[in-house]
Structure 1
Amino acid sequence: MSHSPPGFADPKSSSTVRSVVATSAYSRSPEYGTFDGPGRDDPGSLDANNDLVTVVEGRDLKRGLAQRHLSMLGIAGAIGTGLFLGLGSAVQTAGPLGALLGYFTVGLVVCAVQFALGEVSALLPVTGSFVRHTEFLVDPALGFAIGWNLVYGNIFIFIVLTVVIGVAFIRVYGEVEFVFAILKILLVVFLIILGLIIDLGGIPGTPAIGGRFWRDPGPFVEHIAVGHFGEFLGFWSVMTGAVFSFAGVESLAMAAAETRNPRRAIPAACKRVFLRIVIFYVLAIIIVGLLVASNDDRLNDSSGSAAQSPFVIAASAAGIPAIPSVVNAIVITSAWSSSNQSLLAGTRVLYGLALKKQAPKVFLRTTSWGVPYLCVLFFTPFMFLSFLTLSNAALTVFWWFVDLTAAGVLVSWSAILLNHIRLKLAMKRQGIPNESLPWHNSWTLYSSYAGLSMSLLILLTGGYEVFTRGNWDAQSFVSSYLDIPLVLSAYLIWKLWKKTKIVSLSDIPLKEAFKQAEQVSDDEPPVKSGTWLRLVSWIWD
């Protein structure tokens, strides 16, 4: 057995890039044999010529996440404040049809992202997910830039509870997020049904609304300009908020090395999550468009609380006073859930960067139960940035965060789609059929091209309003475009310093990766839900 865990080629040389998984992924524990590499007390004693190492993560991390956890992680991450508080703003800006088209368009991009992520992650199930894939399939410098972009892009809210969950067993995290996702889904379903009842006049003493708001003030709202061009700009203005709302679906594979049977679980989660998310959002935006007029002054509430939610506005008008409290409670759990998920994504990416020696090796240290605790501690001080929102301008700060987060998410989505394109092109170059992938679809190369084009277009035009006459705002410009120079700077600095090269399609060691993938079989059969659970298990099964 080799004492040097396989990974990437030395960025300073032109030698062939080595396998992302190779023998290390399967010689790491009693389950796959023994490992004779660096010991736990010296997690940084890695071969200096390797940028991606899977031996350490396989030995020190624990596989505590099941497929149902992954499915619900994707749902929990995408259903949050963006759904409960952001839909009203979308209808106000673009009108009910403009908002619907905006969310549906971004939903199609999410579809492309999920399938691309699933196909690549099923073959290469590593901690850090698409960040490490970028190293393997594109350029080590781009992996460095994408990784640090994700690390500094996380801001948190519930400090103590988040840290406790962050250092607990990975299964505890999975179960907490599983419960949060159930609560969110139940609330979304309840609000959709309640909204439909209110709209149809099912509440005694409340007249039916019907579709009158689609007629007056109309399906579209003119934004900045007039006429059809103004309506188009209103539709396009929804994109950034929609991206923020869907943020989180890309992080379900971040803990691939901590997932049981990742080559089966990750594709299953990707297939299920995108469909449920899009359905929830499309139905919710349709109901919101029926309940509240785009020119309703109550949508201007600046408190950032549930009072701004169109569901609350409609329920209050119908004389149901308990709804604001219920929505507020779920918004709080949604914020905590988003905090937990951001911590998981950020810490696992930081751990992956440390594996590649793109972050200090001290971040490789883990607890005895397999949690990179120093990564968690590194993020803790930055959580106090959440106190920026404790002011009268809470909603203003919230929308700054929306812009910043959306830009970072679009960068991540672009990386996922680029990785997938590179994988498919490299397979074609090397004569490897698509059927060799653990999970594949015949149309995903085309959807990845389309999704990448849309992601970059939205990223570049997300702050277009500041360039129109009379709408310049320095803060909006910075929040919309700051991420672009940061990522480019990180990429160029690492590339020039380490003299990395874009990996040739012919040199990506796919045959070794496929060979190792074939050596691993699912030793854990799918678990069937009990009779009483089958009524709700459609959410994750």
Structure 2
Amino acid sequence: MAGEFERTKTGQYVHDVEQPEQPEQSAASSSDVPDLRGIVTQHEHRSLIRGLGQRHIQMIAIAGAVGTGLFLGLGGSIATGGPLGALLGYMFVGLIVCSIQFALGEVAALLPVTGSFVRHAEILVDPALSFAIGWNVVYGCFLSVPSEISASVVLIQYWTDINAAAWVTILIVVSAVVAFSFIRVYGEIEFVFAILKILLVVFVVILGLVIDLGGVPGVPRRGFHYWKDPGPFVEYISTGSWGRFLGFWAVMTNAVYSFAGVESLAMAAAETQNPRHNIPKACKRVFARVSIFYLAAVLVVGMVVSSADERLGSDSGTAATSPFVIAAGDAGIKAIPSVVNAVCLTSAWSASNQSMLAGTRTLYGLAIKGHAPKIFLCTTAWGIPYFCVLAQVLFSLLAYMCVSNDAMNVFWWFVDLTAAGTLVSWIAIALNHLRLLKALDKQGIPASELPWHNRITRFTSWFALISCIIILLTGGFAVFTTGNWDPASFVSSYLDIPLVLAAYGGYKLIRRTNTIPLESIPIQEALDEANNDPDNVPIKKDSIWAKMNIFWG
């Protein structure tokens, strides 16, 4: 029956839908035929190179999550919800991210495959869901690359008015060189960029505290003055308690997109050294670090900038909109704008690289399971799926639209259509984990046998799943209020939902797939594969210094 697993002669489970027909080959060319047996396929073992260490995947996730959303976007959150409303919103979303990270870590430790949660859905839920989620991720990542390049050009124009086309060309060429390079090159670049971001976060948080406490000559001590006037909350759309709640809710929705990217650390699991130990460890550390950075930044921004400051609503897209720059400028510190703009530039380009990694590896994973053309399985001698990279580089040419301001505005609106994709991905991660736990119960296998497991995740995954669904359905609530209807905002908030549902339903209709029965999910096969994996070696215990190091250890 379509959608079920069957055992091969080798004792491994294979999905009967996902096996493309393999023509007879001679002995000399048989190595060119993908071997799709096993959880982590032999094709992945043979074609990809494990060049990413634990420090790389931790920094890839941090580099994806700490970007322009932190340095430029916090001002909008303060203006919408007030200092306390913004802090509570980010704290709530931080709990969701924690739940998602733990769910992803448990499943990825058992199933360390390229494409991460997209491939997990194929094994744990339904091939149709894998197809829908996978193409949604590819769609979003392919559009994110030109959008981030466009954002980089806007940031560059803070210093110079040289024709935008020249900068677009340079950024595309450099991005392509990195994407076609050995995976470790990409990992080292993201490692450096992530450290720059971390250092800037630490610097601006300390700077904000110095300004707030009166450490700058001529600047009075503020303390929590702005929490009292204009107040801890901002009334949004409505008035009174309801208006303050709506302000909080709008901030929480924005926070989801600020945290977006933390789920990318498992996308290249098959290219990660010792993934069954390194990915769970990275999940724990990345959540703690990103949460500390964001919460500290939100708290400090709410202390040094008034939520009523009109400059927070500026749409210039450069460092001028950063609340840190506003606070530094008011304190008479002149060099901060260029420093923040420079790191924002590396952040935007880094986010472009991260989207390219996630998009190409997801497309490669779809091709492995027969959900994308086989041509995307081709890899270089150093393990790079070059047709996947080439496809994404071609999409990057859309960045030339930023040469025309009108075209850029249209393009940014188009990119907004994929914003809900982050929540869709988080929903898939939580659903995959819950299905894994139910299958363990159904098959009588204790969860303690998993390579990594926490008892609390039985509850936190439900919390994350329900919360993400509610936020997804209410993300565009403002358009339903009196006088605020906007067709563009409605479409950008909700179009992704019918797109995913159409892809899911269309695949099921055409391929006649069924939801994988709990008793047919190959958990024991995955456990045996994990136990027999020569790379599955426990990581040496951290030293006291490493445990205290919350930044890059």
**1:240 Cα deviation after fit:** 2.7
AA matched with 2:351: S
AA matched with 2:56: H
- Cα pair distance change 1:323/1:239, threshold 3 Å: same
For the 8 Å contact 2:3–2:126, the answer to whether it is kept is no
Matching residue within 341, 344, 358 for 2:371 = 358
For the 8 Å contact 1:52–1:132, the answer to whether it is kept is no
Matching residue within 171, 186, 205 for 1:173 = 186
Matching residue within 127, 132, 156 for 1:140 = 127
**1:526 Cα deviation after fit:** 4.6
Which residue is equivalent to 1:539? 551
**Alignment partner of 1:539: what SS?**
coil
Which residue is equivalent to 1:90? 77
- Cα pair distance change 1:39/1:131, threshold 3 Å: farther
CA distance in 2: counterparts of 1:142 and 1:538, whole angstroms: 36
Deviation per residue, 1:182-201 (Å, 9 max, x gap): 00000000000000000001
- Cα pair distance change 1:474/1:390, threshold 3 Å: farther
AA matched with 1:302: D
- Cα pair distance change 1:214/1:165, threshold 3 Å: same
AA matched with 2:220: P
For the 8 Å contact 2:193–2:346, the answer to whether it is kept is yes
Matching residue within 508, 513, 526 for 1:513 = 526
Which residue is equivalent to 1:340? 353
Comparing 321-330 and 511-520, the one that deviates more: 511-520
**1:386 Cα deviation after fit:** 3.3
**1:239 Cα deviation after fit:** 2.4
Whether 1:239 and 2:252 are equivalent positions in the alignment is yes
Deviation per residue, 1:1-22 (Å, 9 max, x gap): xxxxxxxxxxx53653569x97
CA distance in 1: counterparts of 2:208 and 2:349, whole angstroms: 26
Matching residue within 456, 466, 469 for 1:456 = 469
Which residue is equivalent to 1:56? 43
CA distance in 1: counterparts of 2:113 and 2:285, whole angstroms: 21
**1:539 Cα deviation after fit:** 2.2
Which residue is equivalent to 2:164? none
Which residue is equivalent to 2:115? 128
Which residue is equivalent to 1:31? none
- Cα pair distance change 1:37/1:126, threshold 3 Å: farther
**1:409 Cα deviation after fit:** 0.6
AA matched with 2:393: T
Which residue is equivalent to 1:69? 56
Deviation per residue, 1:376-405 (Å, 9 max, x gap): 010112223334455667997797478444
| Superposition map of 1:57-456 within 5 A | 57-154=44-141, 155-156=144-145, 157=149, 158-389=171-402, 400=413, 403-456=416-469
For the 8 Å contact 2:418–2:496, the answer to whether it is kept is no
Structure 1's unaligned 5+ residue stretches are 1-11, 26-35
**Alignment partner of 2:519: what SS?**
coil
| Superposition map of 1:479-494 within 5 A | 479-494=492-507
Deviation per residue, 1:303-346 (Å, 9 max, x gap): 11010000000000111110000000000000011001100000
**Alignment partner of 2:382: what SS?**
coil
**Alignment partner of 1:260: what SS?**
coil
CA distance in 2: counterparts of 1:350 and 1:320, whole angstroms: 46
TM-score, length basis structure 2: 0.88
**1:44 Cα deviation after fit:** 7.3
Whether 1:16 and 2:5 are equivalent positions in the alignment is yes
Percent identity over the alignment?
A: 60
What is the CA RMSD across the aligned residues, in angstroms? 2.8
**1:73 Cα deviation after fit:** 1.1
CA distance in 2: counterparts of 1:388 and 1:37, whole angstroms: 46
For the 8 Å contact 1:44–1:362, the answer to whether it is kept is no
Whether 1:497 and 2:501 are equivalent positions in the alignment is no
For the 8 Å contact 2:214–2:221, the answer to whether it is kept is yes
**1:299 Cα deviation after fit:** 1.1
Deviation per residue, 1:30-83 (Å, 9 max, x gap): xxxxxx999996787457x98977111110000000011111111111000000
Comparing 395-404 and 123-132, the one that deviates more: 395-404
AA matched with 1:180: F
CA distance in 2: counterparts of 1:110 and 1:401, whole angstroms: 26
Comparing 292-301 and 183-192, the one that deviates more: 292-301
**Alignment partner of 1:337: what SS?**
helix
AA matched with 1:329: A
CA distance in 2: counterparts of 1:185 and 1:394, whole angstroms: 34
Comparing 401-410 and 59-68, the one that deviates more: 401-410
For the 8 Å contact 1:43–1:364, the answer to whether it is kept is no
Structure 2's unaligned 5+ residue stretches are 15-23, 150-170
For the 8 Å contact 2:176–2:393, the answer to whether it is kept is yes
**Alignment partner of 2:351: what SS?**
helix
CA distance in 1: counterparts of 2:424 and 2:37, whole angstroms: 25
For the 8 Å contact 1:302–1:394, the answer to whether it is kept is no
CA distance in 2: counterparts of 1:39 and 1:205, whole angstroms: 80
AA matched with 1:239: M
Deviation per residue, 1:146-187 (Å, 9 max, x gap): 000000102211322211111100000110000000000000
For the 8 Å contact 2:236–2:246, the answer to whether it is kept is yes
TM-score, length basis structure 1: 0.90
| Equivalences, count | 517
CA distance in 2: counterparts of 1:14 and 1:163, whole angstroms: 37
**Alignment partner of 1:406: what SS?**
coil
**Alignment partner of 2:461: what SS?**
helix
CA distance in 2: counterparts of 1:65 and 1:409, whole angstroms: 24
- Cα pair distance change 1:391/1:111, threshold 3 Å: farther
